[in-house]
Amino acid sequence: MVDPEITTQAYAQIRAMSGTNSPLLLDVRDSWEIETASISGAVCIPMGEITARAHTELDPDQPTVVLCHHGARSLSVAMWLRGQGFDHVQSLSGGIDQWSRTVDPSIPLY
């Protein structure tokens, strides 16, 4: 099983090298947050809907990186998914806030 968290720098490298084959980016923030700042290509399932939608909309064998604002919600979701048999799930450490600060400053901070 992979580490529970991945840094923004490590994920940015994987994304750049993998292109369309990069891990699924799962954004678990609320819709207003996604409208404020987002990373292209993310699949959006709010945290409150994960338990109802995970087994029908996500592939347990697909590498997945979970994203939230600062990394707390995404880590909680990642750990729940791992407990459900999604062994290739990681939380983006520092969330979109850290991504904006270290990888893509064009994404607004909020």
68 counts as catalytic: yes
Cβ–Cβ < 8 Å for 103, 9: yes
Q: Which of 68, 75, 89, 103 is catalytic?
A: 68
Return d(Cα 75, Cα 1) in angstroms, integer: 15
Reference 10, options 92, 95, 105; nearest CA is 92
Give the residue numbers marked as catalytic: 68
